[in-house]
Amino acid sequence: MTGIEDVVHALLFRRPSEPPPAVSVERLADGAFHVDHHDPDHVYLLTVRQVPRVPLPVEGPTEVGEVDGVRAHLVRVALANHVEVTIDAEQGPARETASRDFLIRYEEWGRRADRDPPPPWPAERFTRLVPGLSDDTGTAYRLASGQAGGTGTEWEVRWSFLPTPPPAARRLTLRFSPGGGEAVTIDVPLPPPR
> Do 71 and 39 reside in the same domain of the chain?
no
CB 63 within 8 A of CB 73: yes
The answer to whether 166 and 134 are in contact (CB under 8 A) is: no
Together in a domain, 19 and 110: no
Per-residue pLDDT tens over the stretch 112-166: 877 788 899 999 999 999 999 999 999 999 999 999 999 999 999 999 999 999 9
Say if 24 falls within a structural domain: yes
Sequence-distant (6+) residues with CB within 8 A of 146 are 127, 130, 157, 158, 159, 160
Is 194 part of any domain? no
- The number of angstroms, rounded, from the C-alpha of 112 to the middle of its chain's C-alpha atoms is 31
116 in the same domain as 179:
yes
Q: For the segment 163-182, what is each residue's pLDDT rounded down to a tens digit?
A: 999 999 999 999 998 776 78
Kindly state whether residues 36 and 91 are assigned to the same domain. no
Range of the domain at 21: 4-47
As a whole number of angstroms, the distance between CA 23 and CA 7 comes to: 9
Q: Is residue 132 in some structural domain?
A: yes
- Which value, in Å, is the radius of gyration of the alpha carbons in the chain? 21
100 and 182 belong to one structural domain: yes
Q: Give the pLDDT band (50/70/90) at residue 9.
A: confident
Q: What is the pLDDT of residue 164?
A: 96
pTM of the model: 0.82
Could you give the number of structural domains in the chain?
A: 2
- 172 in a domain, yes or no? yes
User: Is-contact 170 189, C-beta < 8 A?
Assistant: yes
Beta bridge partners of 194: none
- The confidence score (pLDDT) of residue 2 equals 63
Domain match, 181 and 137 both:
yes
DSSP assignment of 132-145: EEEETT----EEEE
Q: 13 and 73, same structural domain?
A: no
